[in-house]
Amino acid sequence: MDLWTFQRFQQPRLSVDTVDHDAGQGVIRLQSGQQTYRLALDDDHAAAQLAEDLRTLADSAAPLWSELRASTPESPWFHLATFLDTHSLVAEGRDGAVDVLATQALRVRQYAERTAQAILEGVSPERRARMAKEASALRGRLDRPTAHRPLFEPDGDPLDADVQPNFFLGLLHVEFEYFRRSSPLTLAAVDLLFAAIADEHDDDASVAVRSPLTEVAGVFDERDLASHLWVVGNALAESTGSDALRYPTAPIPSLPALSGLEFMRQTELVTRDTLMGWGESPFVTAIDLLDGAYAPLVAGPFIEQYHVTYRFVEIIAPLLRMRTSPGLRSQLFQYFSEEYGHEALESTTVEALGVAESTMKKLLPLPLHYAFVDALTLLADLDPISSFASVMVIEGVFGEPPRMSLRLAAAARDNAAFRAIFGDHDQLNESLNHNSLSRDLFAHVAAVSPARIALAIRRILILLELNHRAWRGITDFYGPQSQLQVQGPYGRKIGPKD
């Protein structure tokens, strides 16, 4: 952390009630509320002059501020200004807080309205009407308190296919709960987005969920907000499509209370059966059709993985504050430390594939990859059992070879820069043994009740589906490309060096 000094104020000004000089005593008194500060000088004439100089500092434009800000740590002026600052007597003169809040509210409204325009572009009137009806209904679910563990909807778990058979509506409720906990400003933006899609016009002051628009500014990341609006808008659109119903899954067995390891083994069995039922991923099929040739489709996973890795430690962080047993706590902190900083490696990989660093700052992740991080982070906050098991969805089923990595490495074998980086990354993942981390964690869990077993397996199944659909999204976006393009604001495609 950088040390704070008065030189970091943009428009510093002295903020005191009075500056008085006690004539003949060489003393200057600074009055600030109930506090009085005295500066004693040997020369009374110099004290009178300094008192006059200090009074000018109430104006940020006073020439003396230039001299103070240019002073060095050895200078008497620097010591004086530091004394004033460390006693909270220097204020920021550039105080446009009211205007900043108003500008933020306007800017967020523009994000929402432009996202609505982009989402509705080319959509048939009949489907627009269905989206408007759904958006209006969903608005009524936004403004409520955060949920209690282990469920997060009053009428049941939206990750349960029996409760919510529409995959995208279930995902939207996951996003809403995530925003309630992690970004209230984004939840306010979602209300604006839905209002635009439903063509409902409300005064901001009359909608409680919008209060974060004018409460604080500079706290929440607006680039994240724009990415999340794109996630929500796409999920709303897809919820009215032909592929919205949950995928069929293997039946969840009726199990008694189990040890953690036996629960994990049973979860692996259900996972394997479910993935077998879904068949080969469209991404794998498309990669195989390349027959080892390089194409934008090969770059797609690494670009999207960058977005996931950039936020990956957020998935683990909620678990670190829980009062878990010593063995679990040790492993969770180790997992955090082993993942922290990996985004630098991912960004180097993306640059090796031809995406400029400046473009990476403009990218919007594909919707389901971003939602994947949200869902995992929320589960870590709500349900440690499901979260421990979800590591398998991230890192791969124990015992399964990294087929996807092998295919991607083969397809990019002619790119020497990429091949070297990818080899380092693959070797790192293998050496850390994250493929078996779920089992390692559950080795510390003595027992899981039947109800929590069923709840966790249901949640793992929707995470598997989210992951499966996210890979299909990569295939749909990057597969048709002959020259690499990435997703920019509002879903627009931009060049890798745009």
- In the chain, where are the structural domains located? 6-92, 97-239, 260-494
Q: What does the pLDDT look like over 142-184, one tens digit per residue?
A: 988 887 777 777 778 888 999 999 999 999 999 999 999 999 9
Spatial distance between the Cα atoms of 432 and 415, rounded to a whole number of angstroms:
26
Q: What does the pLDDT look like over 297-312, one tens digit per residue?
A: 988 988 898 888 888 8
pLDDT the model gives residue 344: 66
End-to-end CA distance of the chain: 33
Spatial distance between the Cα atoms of 111 and 40, rounded to a whole number of angstroms:
56
Beta-bridged to residue 14, according to DSSP, are 90
Residue 409, pLDDT above cutoff 70: no
Spatial distance between the Cα atoms of 300 and 223, rounded to a whole number of angstroms:
21
pLDDT the model gives residue 178: 96
- Residues of the chain with pLDDT > 70, as a percent, come to 91
Spatial distance between the Cα atoms of 246 and 60, rounded to a whole number of angstroms:
62
CATH topology of domain 6-92: Outer Surface Protein A; domain 3 (3.90.930)
Gyration radius of the chain's alpha carbons: 28
Residue 431, pLDDT above cutoff 70: no
pLDDT the model gives residue 415: 60
DSSP annotation string for 129-175: HHHHHHHHHHHTTTSSPPPPSS--STT--TTSTTT--BHHHHHHHHH
pLDDT the model gives residue 338: 84
pLDDT the model gives residue 465: 97
pLDDT the model gives residue 205: 76
Q: What does the pLDDT look like over 79-115, one tens digit per residue?
A: 999 999 999 999 999 888 999 999 999 999 999 999 9
Q: For residue 238, give the 3-state DSSP assignment.
A: helix
> Beta-carbon neighbour count of residue 142 at 10 Å?
18
Token look-up 């919707």 returns: 367
Token look-up 């957020």 returns: 314
Q: What does the pLDDT look like over 362-408, one tens digit per residue?
A: 889 999 999 999 999 999 999 999 999 999 888 876 555 555 666 66
Strand order from edge to edge, sheet including 35-40: 18-22, 27-32, 35-40
CB 318 within 8 A of CB 381: yes
pLDDT class of 462 with cuts at 50, 70, 90: very high
pTM higher than 0.85: yes
Tell me which of 4-18, 40-54, 395-409 is least confident.
Answer: 395-409
Spatial distance between the Cα atoms of 174 and 167, rounded to a whole number of angstroms:
11
Whose CA is closest to 150, among 446, 323, 373, 380? 380
What CATH code would you report for 260-494?
A: 1.20.910.10
Q: What does the pLDDT look like over 320-343, one tens digit per residue?
A: 999 999 999 999 999 888 888 766
Spatial distance between the Cα atoms of 99 and 111, rounded to a whole number of angstroms:
18
Residue 497 CA to chain centroid, in angstroms?
24
CB 412 within 8 A of CB 298: yes
> Beta-carbon neighbour count of residue 387 at 10 Å?
25
CA dist list (Å): 183 to 143, 177, 225, 330, 396: 13, 10, 8, 29, 30
Return the biggest CA–CA distance within the chain: 94
Residue type, 177: E
Spatial distance between the Cα atoms of 5 and 82, rounded to a whole number of angstroms:
7
User: Considering the chain, what is the average pLDDT of its residues?
Assistant: 90
Helix runs in 355-494, H state only: 357-360, 367-382, 384-395, 403-411, 416-432, 437-442, 450-478
Spatial distance between the Cα atoms of 129 and 87, rounded to a whole number of angstroms:
60
Q: What does the pLDDT look like over 263-285, one tens digit per residue?
A: 999 999 999 999 999 998 899 89
> Beta-carbon neighbour count of residue 393 at 10 Å?
22
Q: Do domains 6-92 and 260-494 have the same CATH topology?
A: no
Q: Peptide bond before 150: cis, by omega within 30 degrees of 0?
A: yes
Spatial distance between the Cα atoms of 430 and 421, rounded to a whole number of angstroms:
14
pLDDT class of 288 with cuts at 50, 70, 90: confident
CB 459 within 8 A of CB 383: yes
